[in-house]
Amino acid sequence: MGGIGAGLLLIALGAIFKFAVTAQVSWLRLDVMGVVLMLVGGASLLLGLVIYQNRRRGTVVTRRIWEEHGEPEEEIIEERRTYDEPGA
């Protein structure tokens, strides 16, 4: 489980266990579990954002095709990426 959505979900669940649940279980401290879930969710969110930023980087390659007179006939701009980006 990773990514931005999972991180937000874990933070929300941790906050609910820490601040909203007043029940007590003899074998588990729910407030401590809430803090742990919020920390894991924050780490997952941060990791998801770092991975997302790295995936957005790409390489732009520009080629120009020249005529005999030295003027560009047409300019072709190619964008090469190292990942599969959904069509925009």
Q: Is the pLDDT of residue 77 over 50?
A: yes
Beta bridge partners of 75: 64
Distance CA 40, CA 45 (A): 9
88 part of a folded domain: no
Mean pLDDT of 2-21: 92
Task: Quote the number of domains for the chain.
Answer: 1
28 part of a folded domain: yes
Query: Between residues 87 and 54, which one has the greater pLDDT?
Result: 54
Residue 11 sits in which domain range? 4-79
69 part of a folded domain: yes
18 part of a folded domain: yes
- How confident is residue 1, by pLDDT bands cut at 50, 70 and 90? very low
75 part of a folded domain: yes
pLDDT tens-digit profile of 28-67? 999 999 999 999 999 999 998 888 876 666 665 666 555 5
Token readout for 28 is 């588990």
85 part of a folded domain: no
The count of other CB atoms within 10 Å of the CB of residue 42 is 15
Distance CA 88, CA 86 (A): 6
Residues 6+ apart with CB under 8 A from 66: 72, 73
